[in-house]
Chains A and B, each alone.
Chain A
Amino acid sequence: MSAALHQEAGSTLELSGIQAGYGDFQALFGVSLRVEPGEAVGVVGPNGAGKTTLLRAISGLIRPRAGTLRYGGQDLTAVPPHMLPGMGIAHVPENRRLFPHLTVEENLKVGAFTKAARARFEQRREHVFELFPRMKQRRHQLAGTMSGGEQQMCAIGRALMSGPRILLLDEPSAGLAPLVVQQVFELVRRIRQEGLTVLIVEQNVAQVLRVVDRAYVLETGRVAAEGRSAELAADPAIRRSYLGGH
């Protein structure tokens, strides 16, 4: 079943000394990070720490000014961004960015645009419907008319349609009600169990630390701390800053 969803065995995603920004504004000051195949890694930190910029740099929406960015030994900065889904890297962007005027199924279809993905469209769609039965009910509904949680599921489903080995998730819990946040993280956990590598960027530190193996704490564009989830969750400084004290 999981073979239907994604290709076997991923590669290591490795960032080192990444600097990036927009115009005169620099958001990342030498970030280094590593995601091993099958791992789930979180990047947490306050608003404006550069989390979204980090993901955008990985998927080539902005180009780093310095540093190296490799996936399985291949230099990603030399790859045009639209080639990444074909290499097994899928990115669920901030604010989901669904196509609101297309139906759920059409959104999935756009997600399966690459040649290799088209061949397995129906198989993967069924798998996405299995993961998110709600999507099956709403397959002919316009994506823009769904609730925030449903839209997030649709966005994740759309990313899964390309058959990724690693999934980049940008703030999947943003703007969702607490109960829905729980559901979304539950889904992330299930996707993980199927063997998918996950890199997730979140402000909701408490929740994300329960899902990931390791995490990096990003502050004003620099890695301020890193470690296993349990260690970070126990770290008094982290607890004070991100987990509401105690």
Chain B
Amino acid sequence: MDPFFLEALVNGILLGGVFALPALGLNLVFGVVDVVWLCYAELVMVGMYAVWFLHTQAGWPLWLAFAACLPVVALLGLLLHLLVVRPLLNSPPINQVLATGGVLFVLQGAATLVFSTEFRSLGVDMPPMEVGEVFVSGTKLAAFVAALTGAGILWAFLKFTYVGTAIRAIARDREVMPLMGVDPQRIYLIASAVGGALAGLAACLLVVQLDVHPFVGLSFGPITFMICVMGGLGNMLGGFLAAFLMGLIISVGGFWGTTEFSYVVAFAFFILVMFLRPKGLFAR
């Protein structure tokens, strides 16, 4: 096989791994709380700034900045739920989405005020690795491994813990949960914090690959939503698989054309999927 094409395939899978985390987080929150966080990518943006600030400005070692990023964004997720989502739980879905859209502007505006619109770079890079005939960026590979690890931990949490099992249960039947001794409000809080932590992890992986600026969320936010919808909103496994599909489409599309062309193809593919399978590729 053409090594460049092979490289595109490998890069597509690596890219998919990075998309997978925010898709998982978004789906987790949607599945449990039944609200779309339109500002999810902006939570990631805040996390990227946190890492950048702690590492380059406050002089923290990178691993410590990463470690701090997760709880910071998890806390942000908690606050988002408590201040914005919770009071709107009984409102029409569209009002909920629009309110989180308002938070999107708030976070962009706050980032602009605090950090200006300048592009900030973390300035770390790992040497590329040669695997067979294919060159793989070390940073991307590390990010991919970290993403899979994160997804694995999430899976174990959902599969083996009481709270995780309750999270999977509540996604199906909200009303019956109190009879199990489960306080739905508490589960919502936990899901929001975990969703935030996943955004924080995604931020760690993205900040080594992308420069941070207040609008960086717009560059991967829309595609994250599409991945979630394609996999079936709330369906975490579906979203996870769709992330790799999108990663491959973009990477291989970029191999045959320009990057922009590849995104157009990916988005058009999304619209097509919506028409053919309106409830997502993996809807049951």
List residues of chain A with CB under 8 Å of any chain B CB.
Answer: 59-61, 80-86, 90-91, 93, 97, 99-102, 106-107, 109-114, 117-118, 158-159, 162
Contact = CB atoms under 8 A, between A and B. Distances in A.
B182 interface: yes
B181 A85 contact: yes
11 contacts: A59-B179, A61-B175, A81-B179, A82-B177, A84-B178, A85-B180, A93-B179, A110-B165, A113-B180, A117-B181, A159-B179
Given A102-B165, A106-B165, A118-B162, A111 B180 contact: yes
Given A113-B162, A113-B166, A118-B162, A99 B173 contact: yes
A114 B162 CA distance: 9
Interface in B97-147: none
Contacts of B166: 110, 113
B166 to A, nearest CB: 6
Given A109-B162, A112-B162, A118-B162, A99 B179 contact: no
Contacts of B178: 59-61, 80-82, 84
Contacts of A111: 180
A83 B83 CA distance: 25
Contacts of B277: none
Given A85-B181, A110-B169, 17 more contacts: A59-B178, A61-B175, A61-B178, A82-B178, A82-B181, A84-B181, A86-B181, A93-B176, A93-B179, A99-B169, A101-B172, A109-B162, A110-B180, A117-B181, A158-B180, A162-B180, A162-B181
Interface of B: 162, 165-166, 168-169, 172-173, 175-184
Contact of A102 (B168, B175, B176, B181): B168
A97 B174 CA distance: 11
A110 B182 contact: yes
Given A109-B162, A110-B165, A82 B183 contact: yes
B89 to A, nearest CB: 16
Contacts of B172: 99-101
A113 B181 contact: yes
A60 B178 CA distance: 9
Contacts of B179: 59, 61, 81, 84-85, 90-91, 93, 159
Nearest to A80: B183
